[in-house]
Each structure stands twice: as C-alpha cells, then as structure tokens.
Structure 1
Amino acid sequence: MIETPGFPLTLLAFIAMIGPLVFVHEMGHYLAGRWFGIGADAFSIGFGREIAGFTDRHGTRWKFGWLPLGGYVRFAGDMNPASQPSAEWLALPAAERARTFQSKPVWQRAIVVAAGPVVNFLVAILILAGFAHFYGTRHAPATVGSVVGGSPAAKAGLREGDRLLTLGGRSVDDFAGIAEYAMLRPGETIRVTGERASRPIATTLTIGTVEQRDRFGNVYRIGRVGIGSPPVEYRPVSLLRAPVEGTIQVVAIVRGSLDALGQIFTGRRSVDELGGPLRIAKISGEQMTLGWPAFIGLIALVSINLGFINLLPVPMLDGGHLFFYAIEAIRRRPVEPHVQEWAFRGGLAAILALMLLVTFNDLGQLGLWRNLAGLIG
C-alpha cells in the first residue's frame, strides 16, 4: 500500500477531470442548439455564484460557478426546468420566439438534448481508441487455461482446455468476457455451457466472492470462478481499426453498468457500492499518482458513466427530457404542463435523495463513520 495523495492533489485531479468532461457535455448541447438556430443565454461550468465570465457577440454569457460539480446551457426561452412553453414565452416577439428552444420541432429538441451524452461517449471512444492503437489489444480465447483446486470452477467440473460458450445465458467470445462477467456477480449461481473435445458440456456454477485491497487501501468485493487464462496475445491495432475497438470497449462498459444497476434494483448488490463526487475525487487523485495513462483511462470511464447516467429516463436528466419527447412524438402533442411539472419535481427529489445517499456512502468509504465510532467508543 502506498500513501494516499493529499487534499491539494486530489482536488486538482478532480477538477482536471470533471471540468473538461462537463465542458464537452454541455458543448454538445450548445453546438447542436446553434446548428438548429437556437440562441443561448448562458453557458456555465459549475453551479452557484459566478466567479468569472464574459459575454460573447451572440449574447451568450460564458461563466464559471464556484461549485465545480456540473454545468448547464440555458437556451433562449428556456424559462423553466421542463422547458415548457409559458405565458412569458408566448409574450416574446415572433422573431425572438423563433430562436427559442421551445419553438423547435420535437426531433430537433431531442437531438439537442441527446448531444451532450453522445459527446461523452465519443470522448471515451477516442481515448480508448488511442490506447488500443498505441498499446494494442489483449486477446485470449474463452478457454480454461487452468483450474484452481477447490475453486467454483473445480466444483462445477470444469477442466483445462474446456471452451466456454455461455455464462448465465450470455455468450462469451474471449477470456476477458469471462472475467468481466464473473467480476460483477459474486455469489451468483449461473448455468455454464461449453465444449470439451468438440462435445457439448453444461454445468451449474456458483461464482466465488473475493475481497481485494488495492495499493491505496480501497477494498472491493468481486466475483471469481477460479480459472486461469490461456496464453495471451497482444495484437497491434491500426489507426482505422482503433475507433472500432474503442466503440466495442465503450459498449462493454455500458453493458456492465446496466448489469450493476440491475443488480442494485433487484437487491443482489448493495447500494453501499454507489459512489458520488467525493469518491470520484478520491479515485481521481489516486489514479493521477499512478501516472497519466491511468488518469486518462479514468477520464474515459467517468465520461462513459456521465453519458450513461444522463440518459437514464429520470426527469431533470437528459434521459427524462428524451422520455417526454418520445411521448410527445407518439401522441403528436406535448405532455400536459402540470404532469411535466410534477414529474420534474419528483425527479429533483429523487436526485437529491440519491446525492445524500452517495455522499453518506462516500463519507463511509473515507472512514468518517469508523473514526466517529472510535471517538464515541
């Protein structure tokens, strides 16, 4: 275990990661809006009181807020959280109203809203494509290289040389897919199918649970089946192929996020594993001490999760707006304003509750509750 980075480095790493990611996310919204002729009143990185900024020739106020935990673009006419037409909007002159967000057809509004998360995914694809091009990609077939005695794989009857085809009904193409599937499912009992000497095999396996502690003292609970990898081959990736490899990795990470979210909702994974800004800040500082490749890799991962979370169909998030736009497209008229208003109030309450939960978890991860218990005891 090495010394945890101090507060200044942690804060610097957090701002260096979150600031650019929020900027490109909001820039996606902004550029899509400008493409469709929508004016922007403000572009903010951070919330709260403005600490610096300027106004450009288009009348957009570019500014920094004192709380660097997000950002926003406020389009012309965007006078309420649900972006509903209002009496104030209807009172605008016709020429000015034509440049507002609400005046645009639903498909254009949907593109503007989706552009932020899409840019986050594109950033991650570019980073992972760069890693694939400069470092190559790791390849190993979905074959059992060795079996650890007494492990879940040994108890399930797997043998060296078995080729695995599906785990829990999901097909696996390489050894990394086996490890990724098991890692997210400690303690689960799954059906395994495969081939042994060209003959089909099927068995039931209960994934083992392992607690790992990294060099910074963080403890992680992961799943293991107890098999070793076959010989690994590192393959170079051409510049043209690299974006494809980056996209494949992003899709795999999003699928893992969906799996983890589903496990939390079904109770198979504890909500204690949810982390927020404090935990992200802690990890960003740790990764920066490991070098730029580790830190840039974390940026890609956070960018994917930022895009993924914003696409969840929760009012107040981009996905919530897209959900209402989908209903509007089907019904050929917007959802009633009072329904949207109550939905967005509920979404805000849910987001605030989630923020309280993850902050509580983060403080526990940082050892606050343990230290308080020690003081009280």
Structure 2
Amino acid sequence: MAMLQNVFQIVLLFFVLVSIHEWGHFYFAKRAGILVREFAIGFGPKVLSFVRGETRYTLRLLPIGGFVRMAGEDPEIVQINPGQRIAVALQDDKVTHIYMNDFERRTDAVQGVVEDIDLERDLFVRMDIEGELHRFAVHPQAMMVSKDKETQIAPWDRQFGSKTVGQRAMAIFAGPMMNFVLAFILFVTVVFMAGVPDKVKVADVMEGKPAAQAGLMKGDLILSVNDEPIGTDRGKLTSMIQQSAGKTMVWIIERNGEQLRTEVTPQLEQEVGLVGVTLTTQTRPASVIEGFTSGAQSMYSATETILDGLGKLVTLQFKMDDLGGPVRIVEFTSEQASAGWTQYIFWTALMSLYLGIFNLLPFPALDGSRLVFLLLEALRGKPVDPSRESMVHFIGFAMLMLLMIAVTYNDILRLIKG
C-alpha cells in the first residue's frame, strides 16, 4: 500500500509541475488571442488525446516535460498550393472545411483546382470548377482535412508572430512564473503544516555526560544560557557550548510549564566543549503573517541554493555523480513521499522553484532563450530569422536530450552498483 502511495505521489508531482508550467503558457497565449494547437504533457508517442475547443490535449509516453504548440511558432504542417485539387464544404457562403483527398467521399463538397489561396490575411480561395472560376471566403476557423486529420487554419492575427513583443514575452515567461507561484503557495503551506520555530528543545540526553549529570531531560525547553536568551537559535547555543569547555554555564529551562535553573559544565572532546545533548526546535502554529513571511524566506533561501548549484554547473565545477536525471528524481521523490506529506510538499515546492529557474536560463530550447530572442527583436526593431531561431532551439533541445540520456545512464549505473 505504501508503495502504491509513493507511485501515486511521484506521478502527481510530475503531472502538477508540468501542467502548471504549460498552463501558464497556454492561458496567456489564449489571452493574447493566439491559437493554441496542442497542450501536451510529456514527449514522444501519444497515450491519450482529445480535443476541446480549438486545442488538442495530449498525454505522451515520456514523462520528461511538456509543451504548448502555438500557431505560427513552427511552419504550418499542411500547405495548399495553386494547381492542387481540393474540395470545400460551404456554410453561409463561407468555406468551413477544405478537403485534401478522398474526394469521392465528399459528396456535399465542391471540388476544383486551386487558382489562388490565402489562409492567413485575406482568407479566400479561388478555384477552377469545371472551367469556371469561383471565389469563396474562408471562415477564420475553417478546418483543413487530410487523411481524416483535421487542422484548423491560423489567420495571421491568431499566430504567435502577429502579437506584440510584450504579449509574446508574457506567454513565454508565464510558464516559469506559474512554477514560482506554485512554489510560494507550497512553501507557505508547509509553514502552516509544520508550524514556526518557538523554542530550542532537548531531543535526547546521553547518559553519563554533563547534561545528564546536571539533570537535563528529553523535552526540556532551553530559554536562556548565562542570561542570554536562546530563542530558536540552535546554532547560537551550540557555539556557546563549544566555546565553554570546563566553564560552568547557567541554563534556564522550562519543564512542564515550570522554569528551572541548572548548571552545566561542558567537557572538552575533540578540541571543543560538549554536554551530550541532541537539540531540536519546538514549533507552534503560525499566524497568517508568519505563514507568508516564513514561506517567502524559505523560497528565498532555496533560490540562493539553486542558483549556487546552477552556477557550478555553468562553470563546470561538478562531477557526473553530482547530476541527477529522471531516475534520481524519482528515487528522491519516493524518499520524500515516505517521510510524510509535509516533507513531500516541501520537496514539490523545491522542484517547482527549480523548474521555473532552470527554464529561465538563456540556453537554447528553454524559455529563457526564447525571451532572449524577443529581447533582440525589441532592440533591433525586427525579429530574428525564424528559421535560424528554430535551428538554435533544435540544437539546444538535442543537447538537453543527450545530457538527459547521459545522466539517466549514470543514475542507472549508480543503482546497479548500489
């Protein structure tokens, strides 16, 4: 049962992080009026696929990310050229469907040879029908049908490239932004679940050591030492103990709601003073303000750690074993899931934050690189050649996949070797 729960939590983590990221792209693209052709979770072969409105939603086999395919980002798959034979279905004198083949089945459609066609700006098709030229207006949501596969046309005002730099930048940045929003919500949730630090508490006492000799017990709350309030600072107390070998310290503790005074003399061990206690932190329920401020502080600290790790990656200050791919992420997620919901949610917050930051790196194929191209367009006053940009992103994606394969191979070897 525990294993099934871990599997569920691993799948849930991947699904939530990728979905919220891609939903950010999707939502702001739709707000800008961009036609979103596909909303996909995963890569590779389709496992599940359905259409709602103008968008196809797909679940794909390889759980290594996702994508939102917007009209105009890539060359349109279906092209119609002059001289090509087609059939068109009409409704209210407008073309609603353009059939590319299987004309014998299109009994309700008008067949002819294309003389001229514009499906981006003027939205019309002029056809030679049995020697006579006919011009038809094309509906802005008309479908092109090839081998029973429907593709909605994308007029220029529905394409990614037709929008302002600001609108396109927002559609790109929204993915990482949603990961940041989710991370903050989860960090705050953890604070409300775990509480905020209240006092330093004795977690364990070693027999025969100075703390035991002084009468300290498991569960004692340490209020002050040598008239210095300890508060929640375990590091401060540890430092005071280590620097007081052979010196008597006056501890004020709380036990069962009563304050007690005791004297503890650290003994010298390994060149520092030790008293033989394990310290932990007692927590209390967080107020609303504490929940948000502590959550923000956790997010800030985690961001510093992540940026430090990425800095070492960029400057090549790492070993292969320092990197982890999908296998290690699954392994560690399973460990966090086994540790309880609080730890699992904290780990999910970290992963969401990492996903957002990583995607903003100016590396080809990542959102950060696409934002760099938009910045260049804003500075130059014209876009970079789309074919060159696509090539850069393709190369970057291939490099990321090679890195993914390498770290996954290394993770598997590590598991085999134990």
Same fold (TM over 0.5): yes
Does structure 1 residue 250 correspond to structure 2 residue 290?
no
- Specify the alignment match of 1:208 in structure 2: none
Greater percentage in strand: 2
TM-score (norm 2): 0.60
Residue 391 of structure 2 is aligned to residue 299 of structure 1? no
1:26 matched to 2:22? The reply is yes
1:146 paired to 2:212 = no
Equivalences for 1:251-266 in 2 at 5 Å? 251-266=300-315
User: 1:208-263: CA deviations, max 9, x gaps?
Assistant: xxxxxxxxxxxxxxxxxx9x999956464322442333222222212111111223
Higher normalized helix content (fraction of residues): 1
Quote the residue 2:156 is aligned against.
97
Q: For residues 359-374 of structure 1, what are the structure 2 equivalents within 5 Å? A: 359-367=408-416, 370=417
Find the aligned partners of 1:274 and 1:357 in 2 and give their Cα distance.
Answer: 10
Name the counterpart of 1:189: none
The one of 335, 347, 352 equivalent to 2:384 is 335
Is structure 2 residue 381 aligned with structure 1 residue 289?
A: no
Asked if the contact 1:39/1:76 (under 8 Å) is kept, the reply is yes
- The 8 Å contact of residues 312 and 318 in structure 1, kept in 2 or not, is answered as yes
Residue of structure 2 aligned with 1:37, choices 27, 33, 58: 33
What SS class does the counterpart of residue 38 from structure 1 fall into?
Answer: coil
In structure 1, the gaps of 5 or more residues are 161-225, 372-377
Structure 2 residue 62 is matched with structure 1 residue 67:
yes
Distance in 2 (alpha carbons) for counterparts of 1:125 and 1:320: 24
Structural mapping, 1:220-239, within 5 Å? 232=281, 234=283, 236-239=285-288
Amino acid at match of 1:138: P
Q: CA deviation at 1:133?
A: 2.4
**For the pair shown, which has the larger CA radius of gyration, 1 or 2?**
2
Q: CA deviation at 1:120?
A: 0.8
Q: Structure 2: state its 5+ residue gaps.
A: 82-117, 123-139, 141-154, 199-231, 245-273
Please give the alpha-carbon distance, in whole angstroms, between the structure 2 residues aligned to 1:266 and 1:52.
Answer: 41
Residues 42-65 of structure 1, C-alpha deviations (whole Å, 9 max, x = no match) = 1111222222222113x1111211
Please give the alpha-carbon distance, in whole angstroms, between the structure 1 residues aligned to 2:233 and 2:7.
41
Please give the per-residue CA displacement for 1:334-372, whole angstroms capped at 9, x wherever unaligned. Answer: 2234542442233123212321231133113313xx37x
**2:71 aligns to what?**
76
1:308-319 correspondence to structure 2 within 5 Å:
308-319=357-368
* TM-score, L = length of structure 1: 0.66
Q: Corresponding residue for 1:198?
A: none
Q: Which amino acid aligns with 1:280?
A: I
The correspondence for 2:398, drawn from 344, 349, 355, is 349
Among 190, 194, 201, the residue aligned to 1:135: 194
Q: Which amino acid aligns with 1:289?
A: S
Alpha-carbon contact 2:303-2:353 (below 8 Å) kept: yes
Distance 1:39 1:143 in 2: 55
Residue 214 of structure 2 is matched in structure 1 by: none
RMSD of the alignment, in Å? Answer: 3.3
Any idea what the Cα deviations from partners look like across 1:256-314, whole Å, max 9, x if unmatched? 11111223444544232110111111112222222222222221111111111111111
Specify the alignment match of 1:177 in structure 2.
none
Residue 113 (1) aligns with residue 162 (2): no
Deviates more, 1:8-17 or 1:46-55: 8-17
The alpha-carbon distance between structure 1 residues 66 and 338, as it changes in their structure 2 partners (threshold 3 A), is closer
Change (3 A) 1:41 1:48: same
Moved over 6 A (4+): 228-231
1:221 matched residue in structure 2: none
8 Å CA contact 1:15, 1:68 repeated in 2:
no
User: Which structure would you say has the larger RCO, counting Cα contacts within 8 Å and 6 or more residues apart?
Assistant: 1
For 2:86, the equivalent position in structure 1 comes to none
